[in-house]
Amino acid sequence: MAFDIDMIKAVYDRFPDRIAAARKAVNRPLTLTEKILYAHLTEGPASKAYERGKSYVDFQPDRVAMQDATAQMALLQFMQAGKDQVAVPSTVHCDHLIQAEVGAEKDLSKAKDKNREVYDFLASVSNKYGIGFWKPGAGIIHQVVLENYAFPGGMMIGTDSHTPNAGGLGMVAIGVGGADACDVMAGLPWELKFPKLIGVKLTGKMSGWTAAKDVILKVAGILTVKGGTGAIVEYFGEGARSLSATGKGTICNMGAEIGATTSIFGYDEKSAAYLRGTGRADIAEMADSVAEHLTGDEEVYANPEKYFDQVIEINLSELEPHVNGPFTPDLAWPISKFANAVKENGWPAKLEVGLIGSCTNSSYEDISRAASLAQQAVDKKLTAKSEYTITPGSEQVRFTVERDGFLDTFGKMGGVVLANACGPCIGQWARHGADKQEKNSIITSFNRNFAKRADGNPNTHAFVASPEIVTALAIAGDLTFNPITDTLTNADGEQVKLEEPRGLEMPTKGFAVEDAGYQAPAEDGSKVEVLVDPKSDRLQLLESFPAWEGTDLKGLKLLIKAKGKCTTDHISMAGPWLKYRGHLDNISNNMLIGAVNAYNDSTNRVKNQLTGEYGEVPATQRQYKAKGIGSIVVGDENYGEGSSREHAAMEPRFLGVRAILVKSFARIHETNLKKQGMLALTFANPSDYDLVQEDDTIDINGLTSFAPGEPLELVLHHGDGSRDTILANHTYNEGQIGWFKAGSALNLIKAGED
């Protein structure tokens, strides 16, 4: 596959002038983040300073990456844009649709057969429009990107919330919805509110049981799931330079769990070593020539409080291994306090399953360190008391660790190797017995642990830790086991202690692979035909959403008032629903079925105001749509947290929901709603959430004069004849108001073609 050398050279060639102009515009030293952002402005050299958290800015990313579940809708939208080729280097990665059940070979074979129609569509549309295609089994998008495409100082957008993984190699890599990807592939600018900056200073050096994963687990505990919203997290300091490139990738990957726009590390010797180790010595040489521009200015790191909006300092020499959870990735426990937390909270101490790998922790370093513990278990006559699975991040990693004997070591301990895919991390796990809904505990080296995410069981207590801690606890079969201090009883009845894990950042023999799984696109795709069967239940060509009717919105019915956490998993579940990601009508049958109704504390049970009866959310909304009645969804804080999936915005739009009114939004979801022509509104007074009643009919006034910074008026007509009038804020700028009026951002692109 091509490494886009000419594109990277062009990026580096413009760095000196653009960064100098940016430094002059802001009249101070620059952070690394600012250097890369200013270097990617569409308007050329920076002529002004942008206000963090307020100024909307147009950027031109260098590349686009899409995973198969979200690529379907992104490419269905791109097909409507009227373009012959993508405007920037783009790739599709088939990693989400492979269900883990018995093992890699059988699971992959089954997935290829089950998803053939979708894979054929993605391969053909990629072939037609000049998009690189990574076949099923090639690996997880973020690991493949890190190994092949990420480069220091670049800017990438990806249709997955963990796109920031590439920040481990110094790239501003941001998760977006498919509509954003469509815009960039069509050659349009990509808009982002200029982010605030959080600096994380790392001092000291890790040792023993502590891993890079523990840095982000600690940060998540400090900032919580919304503490990074609207901000880019920049890591620096001697501790940062001591971490491997893949360790940095782990930290950046899971930065999505604090709501951060992205996370990034500067270019250093570890970055250069990884580039050379993955066959990109030419890129390392180019990066070396502009190295001063691939890190923040010295004055910034010497006095970070002056240049960042918030600064956190972590001493790696003192950092303990952490376990986060259950049910949320920001509930952080140092290993020394975790056993007591398990006992005091009544969480199931017996560990049923330990799972390592995923896009977050599937590097050679991760697997080699976990394998050192597995080897100890074999040598010390221990067998894993819990089920134990390994998910390699790419075929290159899998082939290499098999060659070096690690997979055989895991097998001796009782481990099962799954396909190079997301699998259990996103609910693509046919876990036997999960349907019994029994209370149980699992621990993973994944990134998310929302209720029901892994196996559909709301009583599965999912915890997150490093691969090393996951492996140790799986050997013990007990969440209260602390491998740093405790011993285990082996087959001979002896007390044995696990020694510190050991591993290598990269293989001494180098990486190897027979077939990486890449398919290059046709040089001329004009004669390539993209076939979508009109009778398919997996794929459906899109029709344009209707434009705004030009009036205020009257008589909207309250569909649901969601209570508490409402992530994109609650709005549009993954798992078995992934098969419908290319069929908007079918997947809309999962709309908001996981959201908790504030009026009855139930899921997928809302009052139908036309009949007075309670029914499923999608069915109720379809009745409103059939009668030509719009509706509104009300939500709590950080609504739309989690995955970048734009289906969570497209489904309500398709079914006739006109507005989402919440206390606060997660960044990606708010943008996705805007792109699809929805009204994304927040309570001017958060306590007004309590005024919304179950039988409300709602008017939205002020749309005929819809303007940036001007709140809209909502009138809540209650069932008893009374009413309340409240204000709702929004963050729409003029361009985004244009999306609303046109019916969607894509409608404007098509209008431009016409």
List, in sequence order, every residue forming a beta bridge with 478; answer none if it has no partner. 350
User: Is 448 labeled as catalytic in the residue annotation?
Assistant: yes
**Percent helix, strand, coil in the chain (nearest 5)?**
40, 20, 40
Q: Which residues pair with 657 in a beta bridge?
A: 631
Q: Is 643 marked active-site?
A: yes
Whether 369 is catalytic is no
CA nearest 423: which of 10, 78, 102?
102
- Residue listed under structure tokens 């515009």: 25
Identify the active-site residue in 161, 363, 572, 643: 643
Q: How many CB atoms lie within 10 A of CB 224?
A: 18
Q: What is the 3-state secondary structure (H, E, C) of 225-254?
A: CCCCECEEEEEECHHHHHCCHHHHHHHHHH
The answer to whether residue 214 is catalytic is no
> CB–CB of 162/360 below 8 Å?
yes
- In angstroms, the Cα distances linking 496 to 314, 382, 471, 479, 483 are 32, 9, 16, 18, 11
In 394-442, where does DSSP find H-type helix?
395-403, 406-413
Q: How far apart are CA 634 and CA 696, in angstroms?
A: 11
Q: Which one of 96, 241, 538, 570 is the catalytic residue?
A: 96
Out of 4, 62, 68, 95, the active site residue is 95
Name the nearest CA neighbour of 155 among 249, 61, 234.
Answer: 61
Identify whether 293 is a catalytic site residue.
no
280 classed as catalytic: no
CB atoms closer than 10 angstroms to residue 382: 20
| In contact, 388 and 474? CB cutoff 8 Å | yes
What's the start-to-end Cα distance of the chain, in Å?
Answer: 35
What is the distance between the alpha carbons of residues 384 and 236, in angstroms, rounded to a whole number?
38
Of 62, 160, 183, 478, the catalytic one is 160
Which single residue is written with the structure tokens 């969607």?
744
* Cα 435 from Cα 360, distance rounded (Å): 27
The size of the chain, in residues, is: 754
Which one, of 520, 529, 577, lies nearest residue 73 by Cα?
577
DSSP result, 96-140: SSPPBSS-HHHHHHHHHHHTHHHHHHHHHHHHHHT-EEE-TTSB-
Burial 15-49 (b: 16+ CB within 10 A, else e): beebbebbbebbeebbbbbbbbbbbbbeeebbeeb
Residue of 142, 448, 570, 583 with catalytic role: 448
Q: C-alpha 633: how far from its chain's center?
A: 24
* Per-residue tokens: 213: 């994963």
Segments of 562-637 assigned E as strands = 606-607, 614-615, 631-634
Please identify every residue annotated as catalytic: 95-96, 160, 448, 643, 645
